[in-house]
Structure 1
Amino acid sequence: MIAAAWDRLRLFNIGELIRHPGRTVMSTAVMAVSAALLVAVLSISGSVTGSVDRLTKGLAGVAELEITGITDAGFEQSLLTEIVATPGVATAVPMLRAGIGTGPDRALLIGADQTIAKLGGDLAAPMDKHTRKLVSTPRGVLVGAAMGYREGDSVPIGWGTATVAGVLDDEASNRLNGGHLIAAPLPLAQLLTDRVGKLDSVQILPTPGTDVGELRAALTTVVDGRAVVAEPSLRTAQAGGAIQIMRYSTLMSSAAALMVSAFLIYNAMSMAVAQRRPTLSLLRAIGGKRGPMVRDLLVEAALLGLIGGAIGAVIGAAMGRFAIDRLPAAIVQSVESRTEFMVPDYAVPVAIAACVLATVLAAAIAARQVYKVAPVEALAPVEATDSGANSRVLRYAALAGGLGLVGVAIALAFLDLGRLSLGAISTSFAAAVLLCFAATGPIVRGAAGIARWFGASGALGATTLKRAPRRVWATAMTVMIGVAAVVALGGASANMVDSATESFESLGDADLYVSASPAEQFPTGPVLPPELLDQVAAVPGVASVRPGQMAFATAGTGRVMLQGYPATSEEARLGAVDPAVIERMSRGEGVVVTRDVARSMDLSAGAEITMPTPSGERRVQVLQVIPYFTAVSGVVMMNIDQMREWYQRPGETILSVQYAPDADPATVRAAVRELVPPEIHVDTGADMLAAISSSVQQGAAMSAMILWIVVLVATVALLNTLMLSVLERRRELGVLRAMGTNRKFLLRSVLAEAAGIGFIGAAIGLVIGAAVQYLGTVAIGHAMTIDIVYRPSPLLLVYGIVALGLALLGSIPPALRAARMPIVAALAVD
C-alpha cells in the first residue's frame, strides 16, 4: 500500500510540480521567506538568552543554587561565613563578576578562589591548570583568546593594571563569553575594581541527599534580603525579559508574512486542482476515491512547506547573524554576557513546522473542491461549481467568529495586561480575515466594478474575476494584509517612537552630561571617581552640577532599574513625577515606580513595596505610579542619598551639568572634556536625546524591515495568482486572439484584473490598518508602560499607495505573457 501511494504521489503530484516549475518555485520562495523571518527572529532572541545561559553554565558547573548580588555593587564578603555554615552546604564558591570596557572591547572579569575547581565548569580546569603561573606572576590573570593579549602583556582593569599569566585555549574561550574574559584570583579582582570585601556571586553545591528547596529556604533566611538566592538559570530568565518587546513585535510581523504565504499556497493549490480536472476525473471514473486524492494534495503542499522551510532556515540564519550586530545598545547592555550569534535548537524545527502547517491548512481548504465535484462533473470548471464562497452557513460562522475576535482584540488592547496586550494586534488581523470572508461577495463585486473602469478590456477582466470568487478573495487578502500590516504596525511604531522621544525631551534641558557610559546606553556604571563632581562644578562657566545614579537590581524574580536623583523640583529627570511627590521623595518617605513594576508586583500609589538591598530588606511606600518608557526593565526612582545608603553604592554614575547664563558652551565643554579621564564620556543634552531616540528607532526598524518584506511577499502572491489565471485561460485567450483581439487588449484585461484586486485589497487594508493602528497604539502603550499618543499620519496613505504599487508590479509579467501568447500554442492546450 505504501509503495502504491508513493507511485501515485510521484506520478501525479510530484510530476505536476515538475511540469509547473514557475508555480512551484514561487510557492517555495514565499514559504522560504516566511521561514527565514521566523528563524531570524528566533535566532536573535535565542542568541541573547543562549549566550547568557552558556556563560552561566560555564561558570556555575554543577552548582545547584547561586547567591547573587542585588545590584552590581554585590554584597559583603562577610556573608560568606554564614553561607558556608548553613546545614546542607557542601561547598560555597565565592566569585566577583564585573563588566569592563564598552562596545567591541566589552569583557567580563571573573574573580574566584581555589574552590572553583569543585564546580567542574569551563573555567575550573583552566584556573587549576594555570595556578602556578597565577601565583608566580605579580598581578597575574588569565585572558580569553579573543582579548588579543599574549603572556606578559599588561591589561588595564578598573583603575589599575594586571599582567597576563596565561591565555585560555580556543575551546575554553569559545564557551566563556566568546573569549572576552579575564579570570583573576579573587583578592586581585577585588583590588583592581576597588571592591575589597565585596562579592557578586556564591555558587552552592549541596551535600548529597540534601533537599534543594529546603536549602534554598534556609539560605534565604541567612542572607536576610541582602542578596538573592535562586537557581543559576535566573540570569537567563532575566535576559529573556530584556528582549521580550522586540521578540513580540518582530514575531507579529513574521506571522503576517506567514499568513500572506498561506493565502498564496491556497491560491496555488486551488489552481492546481482546477488544472488537474482531467486527471482527477479520470481517476474518479475508474473508481478512485476522493480521500487518497486529497491526502496526496496535502502531502504535495507539505513538501512545498518542507522544502521552502529548509531553504528559508539557511537564509534566516544569515539574516539573524546580520541583525545580532545591530541590536540596540540598551538591550546589549542589560545582559551580563556578550551576545554571540547562535541558532537555538528549536528555531529551525519551529520555522519548518510552521511552514508545513500553514501550507497543509491552506491546501486543505483548497482541496475541499475535490469532495464537491462528482465524477460526471469533474470535467466542468471547478470554480463554476464552487459553492464554498457562497455558503450561507460559512458566511455567518465567519461573521460571528470575526465579530467575536474583534471583541477579544478590543479587550486585550484596553485591559492593562502588559505585554499580553500586544496579542490584540494579531487577533485584529485574524478578525479582519474572517470578516472579509463573510463579505466575499461584496469584495468580488467591488473588484469587478473597479476592473470595469478600464473599458471593454476591463469588462473582460471583471467577468474573469466573477468566475473565481475564492481566488479573488484570497488574493485580495494578501494585498490587504500587506497594506494593513505596513499601515498598522508601521504607524503604531512611529507613534511609539514619537511618544517615547517626547517623554525624554526633558533630558535635553541639561547642557552637558558626564558618565562612564556612552550616550546610547543607560548610565548604570561604573561609579564615577569620587572627586569628579566637585572638579566639574569648579570649571569656569558651570552654574550647577546634579548627580544621578542608575543600577540594574533584582526584585523578586525580575529585574528593575534603580534611578536615584536629587529630589528637587529643578531636577529635569523627574519630569514625570508630581511636584508634591518630589517633596516627599526628598524627605525619604517613599519611591516612585513605573507601571510595569506596579503591575508585576500588584502595587498602587500608597501601597508598600519590599526592596531587597545589600543592607537588608527595605519596606517603603509607593508615592506614585508613572508612565515611563521601559523597553528593557521597569524603573524604581528614589532619592539619590537613599539609594547610596540602601545599596551601599556611594557616588554617582552620571552628572548633569548646567552652564552659567553668560558662559560659552564650546569653551565650557572643552574644559570639562580636558578635566575628566579619557574613558569618561562627555555629551551634550541634545546628543543624549538624539542617542536615546536613535536606540528606540533602531528597535522599531527591524519590525519595519520585516513589514516591507511582507509587502514583497504580497507582490509575489499577486504575480503567482495572475500568472496561474493566465495559464488556466490559455485556450480562452487563444480563441480571443483568433477572433481578432489584439495583444494590447489582452494586456489591459489582465492589468484590469490586477487593478480590481489590488485596489479593493488596498482600500480594505487602509481601513483595517488605521483601526488596528489605534488598537496597536493602545496595546503597545500598555506593553511599554508609556502614554502613546495616536496620530494618524498622512504618510499612512503614502505607505498604502507604495505597498499597492509594489503589489501591482506583480501583474506585469502575467499581463505580458497573456499579450505575447502565440495563438496556435494557446489553441493547442488540452
Structure 2
Amino acid sequence: MIRAGLSRLRVLNLREIAAHGGRTAASVIVVAVSAALLIAVITTYSSLTGSVTQLTKSIAGDADLAVTGFTDTGFEESLLGAIDATPGVKAAVPVVQLQRSQPEPFIMLGVDFRALQLHSSLQTTLAPYLKIDSKLLAVKDGVLVGEQMGLAEGQQFAVSGQTLTAAVVVPADVAKGVNDGHFVVAPLALAQRVAGRDHRVDAAFVIAEPNTDLGDLTSRITDAVGHRAVVSGTGLRAAQVENALTLTRSLTLLVAAVSLVVAAFLVFNAMNMSVAQRRPTIALVRSIGAKRSVVATDVVIEAALSGVVAGLIGIPLGLVLGYWAIDRTPPFLLQIVSAPLIFVVPWIAIPITLVACVFATVLASIVAARQVYRVEPLEALLSARLQPAEQIARRTTLVAGVLGAAAIVAASAIAKFVSGLVVVGAAALFILGVLLLGVAFAKVMVAGAVWLSKRLGPSGQLASASITRSPRRAWATAMTVGIAVAVGCAVFGALNDLVDSASDSLSRVRNTDLLLAGTPPASVPDVAFPAEWEGRVRATPGVESVVPGQFAHVTVGDVQTQVAGLAPGNNINVAPLLEPDALHRVLAGEGVAISQPLADRFGYSVGDDISVGTPTGIHTTKVVAQFRFVSTDAGLIAMSLGDMRQWFDRPGATYLAITLESGANVADVQSRLRAEFGDQAYVFTGQQAFEATTRNITQAGSLAVGLQWIVAVIAAIALMNTLTLAVLQRRREFGVLRAIGATRRRIARMVLAEALAVGVVGGVIGIVGGELVHYISDIVLTTTTGIDISFGANPLMLLSAAIALVLCLLGAIPPALRAARLNILQAVTVE
C-alpha cells in the first residue's frame, strides 16, 4: 500500500509539480519567507539574551549562585566576609565587571586568586598567569589582555581615564573562551579604582558545598548580607534582559505571527488553483477506482512536503536575516544587554519553524482538497469541457461569517484582558477573523469587481464576464491584494501611533535648553558622576540654573526596573506625567510613583506599601500614584532624588537639566561645557534628547516595517501566480478571442482590467481590514509597552496602501504579456 501511494505521488503529484514549477515555486517562496521571518525574530532575541548568558557562563562557570548589587554600583566588599561565613558556602568569588566600547567593545574584569576556584573559561585563561612571580603582578597597573585586543606586551592604553599596561597578552586560541578574546583582566583593587568602585564589587559567584539545598542557601545568604544585595541563580541577568526586550520583541513577533497567517492563506489560494487545474487528472484517477479520500490525502501530503521544503529554504534565510539584525542592533538595546553580542541559534527554533510551516501548508491544503470531492469520474471522458462557474456556497459564507466574527471577538478579548506575550497572538487571530469575513462577503466583493470592470471600456466588459465565470478566482485575487494592503496599513499605523504616543509622554524634554549626562542622548542616562560637577556647570557663563536628576537600573524581585530620582524644578521625563499633588508627595519623600506595568506585575495599587531592596537594606514606603511611561525595562519607579541618593548609596547625579540665562546662545554654552568636561560627559540639547529617544522607539519597530514590505512583495508574487494560473486555464478562451479578431493588446488589456478591478476592490477591503487590525494592534501594544497608545488614522497610511497595491498590480503584468503572446492554433486546440 505504501509503495502504491509513493508511486501515485511520484507519477501524479510530482509530475504535476514538475510541469508547473513556477506555481509550486511561488507557493514555496511564500511560506519560506514567512519561515525566515519567524526564525529571524527567534534568533535575534535569543542572541540578545544568549549573549548575556554566554558572558555570565564564561565568568561564573559552574557557580551555584550569584550575589549582585541592586544597582550598577554593586555592593560593599565588606559583605564578602558574611557570605563566606554562611553555612553551606564553599567559596565566594568577587568580580568587578566594566563594559567599554572604545576603541572597540570589550569587557574589563577585576578578580583575585579566588577566581581560580571557578570552573570556567575565565579560570582556564587565568590559571597560568595568577602566580606570585607572574608579570601581571610585577608590572605597575599591569593587566592581562586577550590577543584579539590588538595590544602588544608592555603597551600602555587608557580605560576610563586610567593608564594601564598590557603586562600579559593571552594567545588568541586560549583567550577566545572569554568574550571571544576581547577582554582586560585586572587585579581586583586596580579594577575597583578604574571603575570608580572603591571597596565595592559587582558580583560574588558562590560555590556551594556538596548536597546543599540552594533554596535554603539563598535565604541564608540573603539574611547574612542584610538584604543589601540580590541573591539569585546565575541566570537572573539573562531573565531581566528578556523582560527588557518586550517592546521590540512584541512588535516583530506581531508581524511574524501575522505573516504566517498570510502565508497560510496564500498557500490555500495556490493549492485551490492547483486542484482546479488538475481536475482532468483527478477525474481520470477517480475513473479507474481511486477513492476521493485517497486523492485528497495526496493533495495534503503534497502540501506538507512543500511546507518542509519551504522550511528548509526559509531557515537559512532567516538565520542570515537574524545575523544582519544583530549586526545592526540599535544603541538602546546594546545598553540593555550590557554584553558583547554573539549570534545564538536555539536548537528548538528549527523544529518549531518546520512544524509551523507544515502546519500552515497542511491546514491551508485541507480546505483546498475539498474540491476533490466535487470532481466526477465522468469528466475524464469529456474533452474540452467548459466548467460551469463555481459559486461560493451560501453555507460556506454563513459558517465563515460566524467563525470570523467569533475570531474577532476572541482576539479583542485577548488583547484587552490578557497580559504577557500571549497577547501578540491576538493580532494574528484578528487577521484570521478578517480573512474569514472576507469569505462571508465574497459575493459582495465579486459584484464590486464586476461593477468596476464594466466601467473600464471594452476590455473591462470582457474582464467582467471572466470575473462572473470565475468568482472564486476573483475573490482569491482580491483577498491577496487586500492582505498586502491590510498589513501595510496596520504596521504603519500601529508603529506611527506608538511613536506619537511615546513622544507625547516625553515631549517636555524639548523645553530643556541643555542636558549634561555620562551617556549619549540615545541611551538612558544611568552613569553616575561626582556631585561637584553640578557646581562646575553652575559656574559656566550663560547658565542660569541647574537641576540634578538620576536614573538607575535596579533589581526588584526577579526583574530589572528603572528608578528615576526627581528634584524640584525637574520638568522632564516622568515628572510631567504625575498629578501635581502626587508629584509634591514624591518630591517630599512621602512615597513613590510606579509605572503601570510594574504595578500590574506585582499587584500594587495606590496606597499600598512597597518594599524595595537597596544597598542600604530594605526600604518600605507608600505607592502614591501610578502612571504610564514607555520603559526599556519591566517598569519604572519615581522617587525623590534625596531618597534615591540615600537608599541606593548613589551621591551626585546621572544627568543635569540646564536652563540658560535670557539671551544666552545655546551653541556657545554647549561648547564651553564640552571644553570643561571633555570626553567625560555628553552635552546635548533637549531637542536632541527628544529626537534620540523617538529614534530609539522607531528603531524598535524598524524590523517590523521591513517585514511589512516583505509581506507586500510576497503578495505580489502570489498575485502573479494566481493570474498566471488563470491565463493557463483560459488559453482556449483567449485563442477563440484572437481567432475572431481580438488583438494581442486587447487580450493584455483584458487581463490588466480584470487585475485592476479586482485589485481596487481588494485595496478597499485591505484599508478597512487594515484599520481594524491597526486598532487591535494598538490595544496589544498598550498592553505590552505600558503606555496608552492612541489610535489615529494617519492619511499617510493611504500612501502605504497605494504602494502595496502597486506592488501587487505589477504582478499582473507578466500574466498579461503571456496571455497576449499565446499562439492562436495551440490555444484553440487546448482540451
Give the TM-score normalised by the residue count of structure 1. 0.95
Of 723-732 and 450-459, more deviation after overlay is shown by 450-459
Residues 400 and 440 in structure 2, CA contact (< 8 A), matched pair in contact too: yes
Tell me the CA shift for residue 523 of structure 1: 0.8
Residues 563 and 638 in structure 2, CA contact (< 8 A), matched pair in contact too: yes
Q: Distance in 2 between matches of 1:101 and 1:532?
A: 24
Instruction: Please give the per-residue CA displacement for 1:495-514, whole angstroms capped at 9, x wherever unaligned.
Output: 11112122212112221111
Q: Distance in 2 between matches of 1:99 and 1:208?
A: 33
Return the letter of the residue paired with 2:66.
E
Does residue 606 of structure 2 align to residue 605 of structure 1?
A: yes
Return the letter of the residue paired with 1:205.
I
Q: What residue number does 2:516 align with?
A: 514
Q: Distance in 2 between matches of 1:740 and 1:627?
A: 69
Return the letter of the residue paired with 1:445.
A
Of 9-18 and 450-459, more deviation after overlay is shown by 450-459
Per the alignment, in what secondary structure is the counterpart of residue 372 of structure 2?
A: helix
Return the letter of the residue paired with 2:393.
N
Percent identical pairs in the alignment equals 39
Does residue 480 of structure 2 align to residue 478 of structure 1?
A: yes
Residues 716 and 810 in structure 2, CA contact (< 8 A), matched pair in contact too: yes
Per the alignment, in what secondary structure is the counterpart of residue 799 of structure 1?
A: helix
Residues 547 and 569 in structure 2, CA contact (< 8 A), matched pair in contact too: no
Listed as ranges, the matches of 1:424-573 within 5 Å are 424-525=426-527, 527-568=528-569
Return the letter of the residue paired with 2:338.
E
Tell me the CA shift for residue 187 of structure 1: 2.1
Q: Distance in 2 between matches of 1:382 and 1:417?
A: 54
Instruction: Please give the per-residue CA displacement for 1:366-417, whole angstroms capped at 9, x wherever unaligned.
Output: 1121133232346687974867x3051x333322222222222333344474
Tell me the CA shift for residue 570 of structure 1: 5.6
Q: Distance in 2 between matches of 1:694 and 1:738?
A: 61
Does residue 113 of structure 2 align to residue 114 of structure 1?
A: yes
Cα 1:408–1:278, aligned 2, differ >3 Å: closer, same or farther? closer
Instruction: Please give the per-residue CA displacement for 1:262-292, whole angstroms capped at 9, x wherever unaligned.
Output: 2222222222222222222222222223333
Q: Distance in 1 between matches of 2:758 and 2:229?
A: 63
Return the letter of the residue paired with 2:307.
G
Instruction: Please give the per-residue CA displacement for 1:280-317, whole angstroms capped at 9, x wherever unaligned.
Output: 22222222233332232223222322222222222222
Cα 1:700–1:91, aligned 2, differ >3 Å: closer, same or farther? same
Q: What residue number does 1:303 align with?
A: 305
Cα 1:173–1:378, aligned 2, differ >3 Å: closer, same or farther? farther
Residues 593 and 639 in structure 2, CA contact (< 8 A), matched pair in contact too: yes
Instruction: Please give the per-residue CA displacement for 1:763-803, whole angstroms capped at 9, x wherever unaligned.
Output: 11111222222332233223222233322111122222221
Q: What residue number does 1:91 align with?
A: 91
Residues 250 and 781 in structure 2, CA contact (< 8 A), matched pair in contact too: no
Residues 54 and 175 in structure 1, CA contact (< 8 A), matched pair in contact too: no
Q: Distance in 1 between matches of 2:657 and 2:29?
A: 53
Of 403-412 and 48-57, more deviation after overlay is shown by 403-412
Of 745-754 and 815-824, more deviation after overlay is shown by 745-754
Tell me the CA shift for residue 171 of structure 1: 4.4
Residues 409 and 427 in structure 1, CA contact (< 8 A), matched pair in contact too: yes
Per the alignment, in what secondary structure is the counterpart of residue 677 of structure 1?
A: helix
Does residue 806 of structure 2 align to residue 802 of structure 1?
A: no
Tell me the CA shift for residue 534 of structure 1: 0.8
Instruction: Please give the per-residue CA displacement for 1:789-824, whole angstroms capped at 9, x wherever unaligned.
Output: 322111122222221111111111101111111112
Residues 493 and 793 in structure 2, CA contact (< 8 A), matched pair in contact too: yes
Per the alignment, in what secondary structure is the counterpart of residue 224 of structure 1?
A: coil
Q: What residue number does 2:229 align with?
A: 227
Residues 52 and 236 in structure 1, CA contact (< 8 A), matched pair in contact too: yes
Per the alignment, in what secondary structure is the counterpart of residue 676 of structure 1?
A: helix
Cα 1:383–1:659, aligned 2, differ >3 Å: closer, same or farther? farther
Q: What residue number does 1:817 align with?
A: 818
Per the alignment, in what secondary structure is the counterpart of residue 49 of structure 2?
A: helix
Does residue 9 of structure 2 align to residue 9 of structure 1?
A: yes
Cα 1:101–1:282, aligned 2, differ >3 Å: closer, same or farther? closer
Residues 608 and 623 in structure 2, CA contact (< 8 A), matched pair in contact too: yes
Tell me the CA shift for residue 159 of structure 1: 4.0
Instruction: Please give the per-residue CA displacement for 1:570-616, whole angstroms capped at 9, x wherever unaligned.
Output: 66751112222222223211111111111111112211111110111
Of 248-257 and 342-351, more deviation after overlay is shown by 342-351
Residues 512 and 683 in structure 1, CA contact (< 8 A), matched pair in contact too: yes
Per the alignment, in what secondary structure is the counterpart of residue 358 of structure 2?
A: helix
Q: What residue number does 1:582 align with?
A: 583
Of 346-355 and 700-709, more deviation after overlay is shown by 346-355
Does residue 624 of structure 2 align to residue 623 of structure 1?
A: yes
Return the letter of the residue paired with 2:591.
G
Q: Distance in 2 between matches of 1:165 and 1:295?
A: 71
Q: Distance in 1 between matches of 2:413 and 2:80?
A: 50
Listed as ranges, the matches of 1:270-419 within 5 Å are 270-377=272-379, 384=388, 389-392=392-395, 394-415=396-417, 417=419
Instruction: Please give the per-residue CA displacement for 1:55-93, whole angstroms capped at 9, x wherever unaligned.
Output: 121112111221111111111122111212222222222
Residues 389 and 470 in structure 2, CA contact (< 8 A), matched pair in contact too: no
Cα 1:572–1:818, aligned 2, differ >3 Å: closer, same or farther? closer
Residues 109 and 191 in structure 2, CA contact (< 8 A), matched pair in contact too: yes
Return the letter of the residue paired with 2:404.
G
Tell me the CA shift for residue 16 of structure 1: 1.6
Cα 1:29–1:772, aligned 2, differ >3 Å: closer, same or farther? closer
Name which of 130, 135, 138 aligns with 1:136: 138
Q: Distance in 1 between matches of 2:147 and 2:484?
A: 47
Q: What residue number does 1:636 align with?
A: 637
Residues 226 and 614 in structure 1, CA contact (< 8 A), matched pair in contact too: yes
Name which of 267, 270, 273 aligns with 1:265: 267
Residues 519 and 525 in structure 2, CA contact (< 8 A), matched pair in contact too: yes
Unaligned runs of 5+ in 2: none
Residues 263 and 474 in structure 1, CA contact (< 8 A), matched pair in contact too: no
Residues 35 and 357 in structure 2, CA contact (< 8 A), matched pair in contact too: yes
Instruction: Please give the per-residue CA displacement for 1:549-584, whole angstroms capped at 9, x wherever unaligned.
Output: 111111111110111121347667511122222222
Residues 55 and 177 in structure 1, CA contact (< 8 A), matched pair in contact too: yes
Return the letter of the residue paired with 2:767.
L
Q: What residue number does 1:73 align with?
A: 73
Per the alignment, in what secondary structure is the counterpart of residue 129 of structure 1?
A: coil
Q: What residue number does 1:170 align with?
A: 172
Per the alignment, in what secondary structure is the counterpart of residue 678 of structure 1?
A: helix
Residues 93 and 203 in structure 1, CA contact (< 8 A), matched pair in contact too: yes
Tell me the CA shift for residue 172 of structure 1: 4.9
Instruction: Please give the per-residue CA displacement for 1:220-278, whole angstroms capped at 9, x wherever unaligned.
Output: 33233211121111111111112222122112212333333322222222222222222
Cα 1:194–1:552, aligned 2, differ >3 Å: closer, same or farther? same
Q: Distance in 2 between matches of 1:469 and 1:83?
A: 76
Unaligned runs of 5+ in 1: none
Residues 569 and 579 in structure 1, CA contact (< 8 A), matched pair in contact too: no
Residues 735 and 825 in structure 2, CA contact (< 8 A), matched pair in contact too: yes
Return the letter of the residue paired with 1:357.
F
Per the alignment, in what secondary structure is the counterpart of residue 679 of structure 2?
A: coil
Q: What residue number does 1:51 align with?
A: 51
Q: What residue number does 1:60 align with?
A: 60
Residues 82 and 222 in structure 1, CA contact (< 8 A), matched pair in contact too: yes
- CA-atom RMSD in angstroms: 2.2
Listed as ranges, the matches of 1:587-598 within 5 Å are 587-598=588-599
Instruction: Please give the per-residue CA displacement for 1:526-548, whole angstroms capped at 9, x wherever unaligned.
Output: x2234221111101111111111
Does residue 647 of structure 2 align to residue 646 of structure 1?
A: yes
Does residue 688 of structure 2 align to residue 698 of structure 1?
A: no
Give the TM-score normalised by the residue count of structure 2. 0.95
Residues 592 and 624 in structure 2, CA contact (< 8 A), matched pair in contact too: yes
Cα 1:634–1:173, aligned 2, differ >3 Å: closer, same or farther? farther
Cα 1:481–1:632, aligned 2, differ >3 Å: closer, same or farther? farther
Q: What residue number does 2:791 align with?
A: 790
Listed as ranges, the matches of 1:232-243 within 5 Å are 232-243=234-245
Instruction: Please give the per-residue CA displacement for 1:299-355, whole angstroms capped at 9, x wherever unaligned.
Output: 322232222222222222222222223222111101221222333323333333322
Residues 508 and 572 in structure 2, CA contact (< 8 A), matched pair in contact too: no
Tell me the CA shift for residue 721 of structure 1: 0.2
Per the alignment, in what secondary structure is the counterpart of residue 575 of structure 1?
A: helix
Residues 261 and 432 in structure 2, CA contact (< 8 A), matched pair in contact too: no
Q: What residue number does 1:720 align with?
A: 721
Return the letter of the residue paired with 2:220.
A
